[in-house]
Chain A
Amino acid sequence: MNDNTEAEHLEQIEQAGDGGNDLPGRLGAMRRDRAALMALETEPAPDWLLDAAIDRAMGEVDQRALRLLEQGDDRPPPAPRLSTHRPRRRRLPVVPAMAAAVVLLVGGVVGLNVMRWFGPAPAAPEAQADRRAAGHRADVDPAMDPAPLAVAGDVQPRHPAADAPAPVTLGGVPSLAEAVGLLREGRLALVARGGASASIRPALEAMAIHAGSWTVSPGVPDAALARIDLPEPGRLVFASGSHAPAGELVHPVRSVWTARLDATPTAIASLLGALEELGLDVELRRLSAPNPIEPAPDAGDVLWWDRPPSAWHRPAAAAVVVETLP
């Protein structure tokens, strides 16, 4: 039945089955099943399959997936954009690194001393408090101090909001090619919806290590966050039960994260792919003004000379607006 070996014993098995449980009939049916299975025809693999796999394996941007993205095709792209190419570990050249560390250290010490020698000596806190209490403002340059002017009535004190820069609003959806330019200008945002925030962060951190071209951090300074004028979430979702009764319609929980990424289409596509792999619906959005969120510096900023020139990308920051299930 299975092959020659079993065929040798087939007759014995069939004879043994004559006892009444229709073993021969069952074996015959299994033979027919096998024949039908062997007759199954499989269509040839799609033409793009190997090219897409090579692109992905070599860490290149898959043009087909990019085209689908730009056309707004929401089918799962056949060529995932998240590169699985593992960054090779490189040994840090010890001597140049030590020399750079010494130069930085000496420069820092010298700089601090120069500031101490030539700059104004800071007054003791008690002395400053005494002077404020007495209305004495000797430590402030009168030309730069608005308080006496306001008191004199020459200039109306301005409302703090008047000095604040215009709020940054979310605009339309750019193409991926345009998104690279926007990212360089600091005007790119990603809006991701769906899923539960508790599981997204650890998964993204793990994927970021794998990708190598981006990181996402959830901490955003309040001042920067206040500058982004996000519209209220208009849709309602079913609560999952952690903060509201399961099944109840609630507004999604919104948070803004900072993505730090290379200003390349590969890095953007990789981040998009990672968010989509976590089940989030993601779209690129244009910001009306440069993103007020600054990416936190990392070791790569100092050690850029340790990388090959092809990896010398200026890192940029993009706001990631995440709306998740409560």
Chain B
Amino acid sequence: MDRPDPDILKRAQEGDREALDALLRPEVDRVYAVCRRMVSNRADAEELAQDALVKIIHGLRGYDGRASLSTWTTRVAINVCLSWHRARGRRMRRIGGIIGLEHPDSIESPHAGEPGGVDGVEEREDPRRRVERALDAVRPDFRAVLVLRDVRGLDYAAIGSALDLPVGTVKSRLFRARAALRAAMEAMEEDGGADGRGAVDE
């Protein structure tokens, strides 16, 4: 378990910029990776990662150094992303209600198709891109367990700690999430790789 240097932690908690940099520099890629896999485009991921880092810095005073720093930062990042998905869902439903869309969640982000996005013919050929695209179609709470387990490599207990869930619930949710991902992959294969969007509940 990674424990930060107590002196650096103390200085960071007091707002020392160099200490903050030293403490959080190793966490930045991990925080960004979680955000990048929780949303479908780079611009949103950057924004969410920054929000998460700000929350982490503000919350440092309450961090006593006994728990793993990377688990705690991952927990903050995943919760920032889940909040974003909830807010986005509400926004999409509101917009969908105004313009009469049947499936407002299928409204694409304005950044979809940007470099680093998940659109593009050549991406459909690549199985990793296909799974990335299918991941976008999975419900955020399912997506969170998949990201924490397979992208961050956390064990069940750490996932449970990050999501405030008992281990048994983590296991069952992970199974349902894998089934949802498979359903999204199959839907994409049936459509010739054209579309896997729309939240898959399974």
Contacts and interface: CB of A to CB of B under 8 A. Distances in A.
Contacts of A36: 127-128, 130-131
B182 A33 contact: yes
Contacts of A172: none
B131 A2 contact: no
B69 interface: no
B150 A38 contact: yes
A58 B32 contact: no
Interface stretch (B1-9, B17-25, B191-199): B17-25
A255 to B, nearest CB: 24
Interface residues of B, number: 45
Contacts of A46: 32, 46
A42 interface: yes
Closest 9 CB pairs of A and B: A53-B53, A45-B32, A57-B57, A36-B131, A42-B33, A37-B150, A45-B28, A57-B54, A53-B50
A37 B131 CA distance: 6
Interface string A180-204: 0000000000000000000000000
Contacts of B47: 76, 78, 80
A1 B50 contact: no
A56 B49 CA distance: 13
B50 A79 contact: yes
Contacts of B54: 53, 56-57, 84
B135 A37 contact: yes
A1 B178 contact: yes
A9 B134 CA distance: 27
Contacts of A44: 29, 32
Interface residues of A, number: 37
A318 to B, nearest CB: 27
Contacts of B32: 42, 44-46, 49
Nearest to A1: B178
- B interface, by DSSP: helix, strand, loop or mixed? helix
A75 B46 CA distance: 13
B174 interface: yes
A70 to B, nearest CB: 20
Contact of A50 (B53, B116, B135, B175): B53
17 contacts: A2-B171, A26-B182, A32-B127, A33-B131, A33-B182, A36-B128, A37-B131, A37-B135, A38-B151, A49-B49, A51-B21, A53-B50, A53-B53, A58-B15, A78-B50, A80-B47, A80-B50
B119 interface: no
Nearest to B185: A33
Nearest to B131: A36
B75 interface: no
A211 interface: no
B37 interface: yes
Given A2-B171, A40-B151, A50-B25, 19 more contacts: A26-B182, A33-B134, A34-B150, A36-B131, A37-B151, A37-B181, A40-B37, A40-B128, A40-B132, A42-B33, A45-B28, A45-B29, A46-B46, A49-B53, A50-B28, A54-B24, A56-B50, A76-B43, A84-B54
A56 B155 CA distance: 33
A37 B146 contact: yes
A40 B17 contact: no
B22 to A, nearest CB: 11
Contact of B116 (A38, A43, A85): A43
A102 interface: no
Interface in B131-185: 131-132, 134-135, 146, 149-151, 155-156, 171, 174-175, 178-179, 181-182, 185
